[in-house]
A and B are shown apart, each in its own frame.
Chain A
Amino acid sequence: MTSPTTPPARRPAGRRAGASEPSGWWAAVFVAPAVLGLAALYVWPFLSTFLKSFEDVPAFGPATFVGMDNYTALLHDEEFWKAFGNSALYTVIILLGVPLAVVLAALIEQAGRGRAIYRVLFFLPVVTLPVAVGMVWRFVYNGDFGLLNTVLSWFGVSGQFWVADPRFTIYAFGVVGLWMSLGINMIILGAGLRAIPKDLYEASALDGAGRVRQFVHITVPLLTPSIFFVTTLSVIAALQMFDLIFVMLRGVNNTALADSKTIVYLFYEKAFVQFHQGYGAAIAIVLLLVIMLATALQFRLQRSWVFYG
């Protein structure tokens, strides 16, 4: 299978390692910090979570092996399926933000002088602490004197209890999450936009293509690698949503909480509030599988729509 361009094997038989050639031992020394860090901070926690998911782990003290019990219980747990549905719905709403980000990014590229200001404005929510964002939106959504209901009342629309009524909570989170992710998505897409050769636009203009046609037939197709990247990251982040619900619905008295939990919130509650760490670990592993599946599926599907030029 060796083609003529294949470089020679690093250590041809019969040739002894010379001084100029780094030995494997030294290489190991140099990568050790990275490997050890990775092992301690990622591999070990993952393995320990994985093992815990097959155990009944009390708050303190020794765990007992229970096999697949946690997973079987999980599959029959209505609360888990509800949380799963909530996370899925939230992810769909976040994904709706991707086309919006594409359009906005394209518009900003056209903006000329004000470009930098717009970018900063859209990016501000990204660099704001999610807890602070949650607190502010809590006030916006307040059913009695929130800003949203005040604005709606100008148009004769009756207000709702956006974060106290389980019919609306996930949508309310979705809007906030979308608003928070718009800025970072626009930055990534903006970089992709600037990589599109200008002559394509000039040539198409000569052929009589208008702005909209250019957007649909040049911008979007050539932007698909960036769109794919943004979509994949958005799905992963959306499935892990926790902070918004934690800040906006916290408190035993919020009657919408029971119907508005996301997968990660349920994990937190089981593992850290109710002391069921094994069950919590099983939720974490299932979430990992879901994220892996969703990502693999996207990589599979991208073959049919992403254009790499």
Chain B
Amino acid sequence: MKSKWTAAAALAAATALLTACSGGGSGAPPTEKITLTYANWSEDQSPAMEQIAAEFEKANPNIDIKIQTLPWTEYWSTLQVGAAGGTAPDAFWMLADHFREYAKGGQLIDLSGTVKAAGIDMSVYPKAVSDSYTYEGKIFALPKDFDTNGIWYNKALFDAAKVAYPDDTWTWKNVQDAARKLTDKAKGVWGIAAPIDPQGGYYNTILQAGGQIVDSQGTASDFASPAGVAGLKFWTDLQAAGVSPTLKQLSDTEAVSMFENQKVAMYFSGAYWALRFHKNPDLQGKIDVAPLPQGVKRATVTSGIGNAGYAGSKHPEELKKFLAFLGGTRAAEIQAATGTVLPAYKGTQEPWLKAMPEFHLQVFIDAVDYSVPLPVAGNASEWQGLAAQYLTPAWNGEKPVEQAAKEYQDAVDKVLAEK
């Protein structure tokens, strides 16, 4: 008797659930539960992704979101093989420098219609980021987050050397002078880290010198122009002055680790380190961030992850719905509140700032005003991969910067000339 009652109760509950599901739907009965996979490459961020997925599932009980976290080293080859073989995840993180190949190859689901139908206002995203996910006028990904660059600096090392902290009045000269004063060979402390780092390093200084990295048609690079050379020289001069660990040292121990180990006092890099630094107990109360210095003008490159969907997904309608949710305020707020990253959605960044009040993180948001999209012309992963090879002699002082820059420019232009 008792079991009958339980069965009846279960049935009633199930019916109620089913009705609840169809209430919000387009009227079609929710026949069965479907699963969408959502791939990312960050262990750090996957808790926030789980939280976002849970929130979406609550509103869409017939859709089950499975989060897939792949190691960065396997992410792109897995995605590429999966897309070609029809087994790619439904939704996944995209980067601007990989985006063009996927969009051109017809692998991404077109979100233009969804944006219009759902009334998504594209102006809430930093234009530099949303533009980089548009291909031939169609929108293929909604910006998830963005990053600009600043000077991460170690206050304890600045205090020890009696140097004033960086601020928004700083020019290149201030950085160079401070780096010299902060370097203390006896203690194994360097003023700054000067690796061959495009995004955190020389792209910014080339732009600050008034140059551009790749021309607007994406057919020629600009490294050997006077501004290009000046932007590269900013870094090679720091190497020549001995105020940075050498390239070999920075190959063995990444710049960010050097900074965390308090071996370097200044590190030019993005907002994405904030959470890692915030969680590092050795750095409590010791570090902060300031705007990048000015050259001829202010500039920083910006980029951001986009949430894209696979064109070959078995559930395109549900996928579009999920992607729209990922591009919305709720997903942005969850990311901001967990301190994960700087969300792209305008006005949702406040919780991110508040999550780590010890840093002047507003610097990164203010930088949007003078930000330039990360160059992604042509086969970007190919020509960017050539940088270390061509620029190392300049960094090591084995070749004049002008010559290395010219050789790198020629190599890049050759890649850009490929179809």
A residues adjacent to B (C-beta < 8 A): 58-61, 138, 141-144, 146, 161, 163-165, 246, 250-258, 268-269, 272-275
B248: interface (CB < 8 Å): yes
In the complex, what residue of chain A is closest to B392 when comparing beta carbons?
A255
Could you tell me if B379 and A275 are in contact, using CB atoms closer than 8 angstroms? Answer: yes
Given A58-B105, A60-B105, A274-B385, are A251 and B254 neighbors across the interface (CB < 8 Å)? yes
B102: interface (CB < 8 Å): yes
Tell me the chain B residues, 84-124 only, with Cβ under 8 Å from chain A: 84, 101-102, 104-107
Could you tell me if A165 and B248 are in contact, using CB atoms closer than 8 angstroms? Answer: yes
Could you tell me if A246 and B73 are in contact, using CB atoms closer than 8 angstroms? Answer: yes
Per DSSP, chain B at the interface is: helix
Question: What are the residues of chain A within 8 A of B15 when measuring CB–CB?
Answer: none
User: Taking the nearest CB of chain A, how far is it from the CB of B213, in angstroms?
Assistant: 16
User: Taking the nearest CB of chain B, how far is it from the CB of A168, in angstroms?
Assistant: 11
B residues adjacent to A (C-beta < 8 A): 73, 76-77, 80, 83-84, 101-102, 104-107, 195-197, 247-255, 379, 381-382, 384-385, 387-389, 392, 395
Q: Which of A142, A146, A255, A275 counts the most chain B CB atoms within 10 A?
A: A255
In the complex, what residue of chain B is closest to A258 when comparing beta carbons?
B389
Per DSSP, chain A at the interface is: loop
Could you tell me if B252 and A161 are in contact, using CB atoms closer than 8 angstroms? Answer: yes
Could you tell me if B105 and A161 are in contact, using CB atoms closer than 8 angstroms? Answer: no
Question: What are the residues of chain B within 8 A of A161 when measuring CB–CB?
Answer: 248-249, 251-252
Q: Which of B252, B379, B387, B388 counts the most chain A CB atoms within 10 A?
A: B252
In the complex, what residue of chain A is closest to B382 when comparing beta carbons?
A274
In the complex, what residue of chain B is closest to A160 when comparing beta carbons?
B248
Q: List the 6 closest pairs (A to B, CB-CB), nearest first.
A: A60-B105, A258-B389, A164-B251, A161-B248, A164-B248, A274-B382
Could you tell me if A272 and B101 are in contact, using CB atoms closer than 8 angstroms? Answer: no
Say which residue of B83, B196, B381 sits within 8 Å of A60 (CB atoms).
Answer: B83
Could you tell me if B252 and A164 are in contact, using CB atoms closer than 8 angstroms? Answer: yes
Question: What are the residues of chain A within 8 A of B381 when measuring CB–CB?
Answer: 273-275
Could you tell me if B195 and A253 are in contact, using CB atoms closer than 8 angstroms? Answer: yes
Question: What are the residues of chain B within 8 A of A275 when measuring CB–CB?
Answer: 80, 101, 379, 381-382
In the complex, what residue of chain B is closest to A257 when comparing beta carbons?
B388
Complex: A251 Cα to B102 Cα, angstroms: 23
Question: What are the residues of chain A within 8 A of B196 when measuring CB–CB?
Answer: 252-253, 255
User: Taking the nearest CB of chain B, how far is it from the CB of A258, in angstroms?
Assistant: 4
Complex: A138 Cα to B392 Cα, angstroms: 21
Say which residue of B101, B385, B395 sits within 8 Å of A59 (CB atoms).
Answer: B101
Complex: A144 Cα to B263 Cα, angstroms: 12
Could you tell me if A252 and B379 are in contact, using CB atoms closer than 8 angstroms? Answer: no
Complex: A250 Cα to B388 Cα, angstroms: 12
Say which residue of B73, B105, B384 sits within 8 Å of A252 (CB atoms).
Answer: B384
Could you tell me if A143 and B248 are in contact, using CB atoms closer than 8 angstroms? Answer: yes
Question: What are the residues of chain A within 8 A of B389 when measuring CB–CB?
Answer: 257-258
Question: What are the residues of chain A within 8 A of B83 when measuring CB–CB?
Answer: 60
Complex: A273 Cα to B255 Cα, angstroms: 23
User: Taking the nearest CB of chain B, how far is it from the CB of A216, in angstroms?
Assistant: 43
Question: What are the residues of chain B within 8 A of A274 when measuring CB–CB?
Answer: 379, 381-382, 385
A-B contact count (CB 8 A): 92
In the complex, what residue of chain A is closest to B245 when comparing beta carbons?
A144
In the complex, what residue of chain A is closest to B381 when comparing beta carbons?
A273
Complex: A274 Cα to B76 Cα, angstroms: 11
Complex: A55 Cα to B104 Cα, angstroms: 19
Question: What are the residues of chain B within 8 A of A164 when measuring CB–CB?
Answer: 247-249, 251-252
Could you tell me if B84 and A60 are in contact, using CB atoms closer than 8 angstroms? Answer: yes
Say which residue of A60, A142, A246, A269 sits within 8 Å of B253 (CB atoms).
Answer: A142
In the complex, what residue of chain A is closest to B396 when comparing beta carbons?
A255
User: Taking the nearest CB of chain B, how far is it from the CB of A158, in angstroms?
Assistant: 14
Complex: A163 Cα to B80 Cα, angstroms: 30
In the complex, what residue of chain B is closest to A252 when comparing beta carbons?
B388
Could you tell me if A59 and B102 are in contact, using CB atoms closer than 8 angstroms? Answer: yes
Complex: A255 Cα to B249 Cα, angstroms: 10
Complex: A275 Cα to B384 Cα, angstroms: 13
Given A273-B76, A273-B381, are A255 and B105 neighbors across the interface (CB < 8 Å)? no
Could you tell me if A272 and B252 are in contact, using CB atoms closer than 8 angstroms? Answer: no
User: Taking the nearest CB of chain B, how far is it from the CB of A227, in angstroms?
Assistant: 37
Complex: A274 Cα to B378 Cα, angstroms: 11
Complex: A286 Cα to B145 Cα, angstroms: 43
In the complex, what residue of chain A is closest to B387 when comparing beta carbons?
A252
Question: What are the residues of chain B within 8 A of A256 when measuring CB–CB?
Answer: 251
Complex: A246 Cα to B197 Cα, angstroms: 20
Question: What are the residues of chain B within 8 A of A61 when measuring CB–CB?
Answer: 104-106
User: Taking the nearest CB of chain B, how far is it from the CB of A199, in angstroms?
Assistant: 55
Complex: A252 Cα to B202 Cα, angstroms: 14
Question: What are the residues of chain B within 8 A of A272 when measuring CB–CB?
Answer: 76-77, 80
Sample of 8 more A-B contacts, CB < 8 Å, known A59-B101, A59-B102, A255-B251:
A144-B249, A146-B252, A164-B251, A252-B388, A253-B247, A255-B388, A273-B382, A274-B385
User: Taking the nearest CB of chain B, how far is it from the CB of A283, in angstroms?
Assistant: 15
User: Taking the nearest CB of chain A, how far is it from the CB of B378, in angstroms?
Assistant: 11
28 of the cross-chain contacts (CB-CB < 8 Å) are A59-B84, A59-B101, A59-B105, A60-B83, A60-B101, A60-B104, A61-B104, A143-B249, A143-B252, A161-B251, A161-B252, A163-B252, A164-B248, A252-B196, A252-B385, A253-B195, A253-B197, A253-B388, A254-B251, A255-B248, A255-B251, A256-B251, A258-B388, A258-B389, A272-B76, A272-B77, A273-B76, A274-B379
Given A60-B105, A275-B101, are A253 and B254 neighbors across the interface (CB < 8 Å)? yes
Complex: A85 Cα to B83 Cα, angstroms: 34
User: Taking the nearest CB of chain B, how far is it from the CB of A76, in angstroms?
Assistant: 14
Could you tell me if B101 and A253 are in contact, using CB atoms closer than 8 angstroms? Answer: no
Question: What are the residues of chain A within 8 A of B382 when measuring CB–CB?
Answer: 273-275
Question: What are the residues of chain A within 8 A of B197 when measuring CB–CB?
Answer: 253
Complex: A253 Cα to B244 Cα, angstroms: 15
Question: What are the residues of chain B within 8 A of A250 when measuring CB–CB?
Answer: 73
Question: What are the residues of chain A within 8 A of B387 when measuring CB–CB?
Answer: 252
Complex: A138 Cα to B253 Cα, angstroms: 10
Complex: A250 Cα to B196 Cα, angstroms: 14
Question: What are the residues of chain A within 8 A of B105 when measuring CB–CB?
Answer: 58-61
Question: What are the residues of chain A within 8 A of B395 when measuring CB–CB?
Answer: 255
Question: What are the residues of chain A within 8 A of B80 when measuring CB–CB?
Answer: 59, 272, 275
In the complex, what residue of chain B is closest to A270 when comparing beta carbons?
B382
In the complex, what residue of chain B is closest to A145 when comparing beta carbons?
B253
Complex: A138 Cα to B257 Cα, angstroms: 14
Could you tell me if B385 and A269 are in contact, using CB atoms closer than 8 angstroms? Answer: yes
User: Taking the nearest CB of chain B, how far is it from the CB of A175, in angstroms?
Assistant: 17
Could you tell me if B106 and A60 are in contact, using CB atoms closer than 8 angstroms? Answer: yes
